Structure 1
Amino acid sequence: MKKILLMCTAGMSTSMMVQKMQESASEKNFDVEIEAFGSEHFNELVPKYDIVLLGPQLKYMLNEFKSRGVAQGKLIEVINPMDYAVMNGEKVLAHALELMG
């Protein structure tokens, strides 16, 4: 099972994206766990996930999060702003799975 963590400022907007991604995963019978939290939980949660996707509003923190996550062997990327704006969970899920290989 692949484990995907979405993070934004408070975990609210990414929670909506999680729902869209889960719908897509269910339709395609993908075995994934997807959750969303606020960025203040990064350090405690990152070890539990295969990839961390940041909401576009956290793009400015990408390098900081990468420096913390790379030490633990984690992929950390920013969600495409256009996909995020229209809540395209299918595309965001596909991109996350592609990054994980």
Structure 2
Amino acid sequence: MKHIVLVCNMGMSTSALMKKMSKYAESIAFECTVNAYPVAELENVVDEADCILVGPQISYQLDNIKKVSKDVPVSAIPMQVYGMMDGKKVIEMAQELMGKE
């Protein structure tokens, strides 16, 4: 089971994306959990993460997030993908980051 962590400013808008990602993952039998957190909580949850995806509204914090993330792979979600709430594309991004299994 993979643990995907989404971070954004407050953890609110990312919750909708989280639901779409979970639905898509279930449809392809990809076993994962997807949780959304405000960036301020990242240090508390980084140890449970297999990858961290950053909302475009805080992509300017990417370098700091990478420092906090230790060895966990991190990537920013493109604005267009985020805006369309494209759960499929974000799951594919996570799989790519983690190495498909």
| Band of TM-score, shorter chain | over 0.9
Q: Does 1:67 align with 2:37?
A: no
Structure 1, unaligned stretches of length 5 or more? none
Q: Give the structure 2 partner of residue 46 of structure 1.
A: 46
CA distance in 1, matches of 2:47, 2:54: 16
**Distance in structure 2 (CA, Å) of the matches to 1:65 and 1:22:** 23
Equivalent residue of 2:60, what SS?
helix
Q: Give the SS at the match of 1:73.
A: coil
Aligned residue in 1 for 2:18: 18
Counterpart of 1:94? 92
TM-score (structure 1 length as normaliser): 0.94
- Which of residues 56, 75, 80 is equivalent to 1:77? 75
| Percent of aligned positions that are identical | 35
Task: Give the letter aligned to residue 5 of structure 2.
Answer: L
* CA RMSD in angstroms, aligned pairs only: 0.7
Gaps in structure 2 of 5+ consecutive residues? none
What's the counterpart of residue 57 of structure 1? Answer: 57
TM-superposed CA distance for 1:73, in Å, is 1.1
Give me the TM-score of the superposition, normalised by structure 2. 0.94
The alignment covers a number of residue pairs equal to: 99
